[in-house]
Every structure is written in C-alpha cells, then in structure tokens.
Amino acid sequence: MKDKKLTGIVVRANDYLESDRLLTVLTIEEGSATIKAKGVRKKGAKLAFASGMFFCGYFEVVESKGRYVLTGATRLYDYSGLAEDIEKYYLACHFIDIASFIIMEKHPDEEMIRFLLNSLHVMTRGNVNQILLRGIYEFRAAVISGFAPALYECAVCGEKTRSTNFSLASGGFACCIQGIETDVYVRQAIEQISESEGRALFSLEIPKESAVKLKNISSAYIEMVFDRKFRTMDKLEGIG
C-alpha cells in the first residue's frame, strides 16, 4: 500500500456495490484517475462530501492491487452551485465532457485541467455570457491539444491574410476558398483565444451576434479536429 495525494475534480461518480462509489477524477498529477470511495453512500459517511460530481480538491488515496482507494479529502473550490442552474449545469458538463476526452489516464495535462477549473470558476460568477464562454472554451481546448487554427497565413494557400472567412475543412482563416463568413470581432476573438494565456481570455468582449458566430464555429471546429460529437448541449436543447 502506497499513500498519495492527487489534486483534481470529480467528473463522474457511479454508485457501486451497496454503499461505494467509483469516481473518475481529472487530476493534475496523473491525468484521468479512477478512485474507489468506500462506504460514502452510508448515512453520515465522513468522505461523502468528496464523492459527488464537481467536487474539486485534494484526494488522499492508497494504492491497493493497482487501484486507488480514497482515504481523505480537502476541498479547494466549491462548484456544486453549478448544479442549481440548469443551463450552467449543462455547460459545465459539456466542458467536462471535452476535458475528459482530452485528458487520458496516466497522461497529466496540467494546462487543460487548469483551464477547465478556471472556466468553471468564471461560470460560478453571476453574470456570464455563456455563449461566448462556450466559444472561448471550445477553441482554447483545441489550441491546448495542438489544433490551433490558421490565423495570419491562409489555411489553404499559405499567403498572408487578414481574411474573416473561416474554412472548417482547412482548419482556419482562408483567402481563396469559400468558408463561413465571420466578422472582425470573431477574427480578433479567435486570435486572442489562440495566443493569450490563462485568465486574460475570460475578459474578452464581443457583440452578441458575433459571440453566436464564434460559438457555432468553435462547436463545429472541435468536432472536426477531435473527430467526435459532443452531445451534452443537444440534451439541454431537447429539454428547452
């Protein structure tokens, strides 16, 4: 048995046996990790607070037969409020869905985890432009994963360009083929999302219409680069 401390966020919690839970935790140290939380569904269980979706903190674990078992926990942030607002809840689940796809077991990706946590943090504030935040998150997740869009050199011919015409198929702005016509705000936003770091991203401001355009492109862009459909937001639209 080996003691260890991991820092991360619970992104899935599945009931298991009579009173246990199997947690999927995105950790800074080890990427995605599975942690068994024993007895946490019993009344008054000491570690129940750490065994739910969105719990973010330190996880003390012992390694036993190749599995982690939870022995202690300390809360760092409280994102549980996100579950009280259905739109925020779905957006948070969408962000987690993307991060869970990117972050693999035994493959630490500190930049992606910190970006996820910062994005959730921004969402817990009162007034958030969720459409813009979604556009920022989706594009930035692609950039962090090595799929930065072509910005200043045409995605097709390589000529210098300031075009606002975005080609999904070619992966960026293009001067010489028909793509999606955006505008100067969307272009500037994509430049900033690609180039600036950390929290500066969240102060981005663009007109409402442009935010919608940005989000539509970012959603199609991540499906293209990751070759996968992220369905969480479709479910919300199904409810509404």
Residues that bind Zn ion (CB under 5 A): 154, 156-157, 175-176
In the complex with Zn ion, the residue whose CB is nearer, 128 or 176, is 176
Q: Could you tell me the smallest distance in angstroms from the CB atom of residue 191 to Zn ion?
A: 17
Q: Which residues contact 159 (CB under 8 A, 6 or more apart)?
A: 153, 175, 176
In the complex with Zn ion, the residue whose CB is nearer, 75 or 162, is 162
Q: Could you tell me the smallest distance in angstroms from the CB atom of residue 193 to Zn ion?
A: 22
Q: Could you tell me the smallest distance in angstroms from the CB atom of residue 170 to Zn ion?
A: 9
Q: Could you tell me the smallest distance in angstroms from the CB atom of residue 180 to Zn ion?
A: 15
To 10 degrees, the CA torsion angle through 92, 95, 99, 100?
60
Q: How far apart are CA 101 and CA 207, in angstroms?
A: 30
In the complex with Zn ion, the residue whose CB is nearer, 50 or 174, is 174
Tokens 């750490």 found at = 50
Tell me which H or E stretch contains 7: strand 2-16
In the complex with Zn ion, the residue whose CB is nearer, 7 or 163, is 163
Query: Closest by alpha carbon to 51, among 62, 40, 42, 66?
Result: 40
Q: Which residues contact 115 (CB under 8 A, 6 or more apart)?
A: 137, 140, 141, 144, 198
In the complex with Zn ion, the residue whose CB is nearer, 135 or 172, is 172
Q: Could you tell me the smallest distance in angstroms from the CB atom of residue 166 to Zn ion?
A: 12
Q: Which residues contact 62 (CB under 8 A, 6 or more apart)?
A: 1, 2, 3, 4, 68, 69, 71
Query: Pairing relation of β-strands 67-78 and 172-173?
Result: unpaired
Q: Could you tell me the smallest distance in angstroms from the CB atom of residue 213 to Zn ion?
A: 21
In the complex with Zn ion, the residue whose CB is nearer, 76 or 177, is 177
- Measured N-to-C along each axis, helices 86-102 and 110-124 cross at an angle, to the nearest 10 degrees, of 180
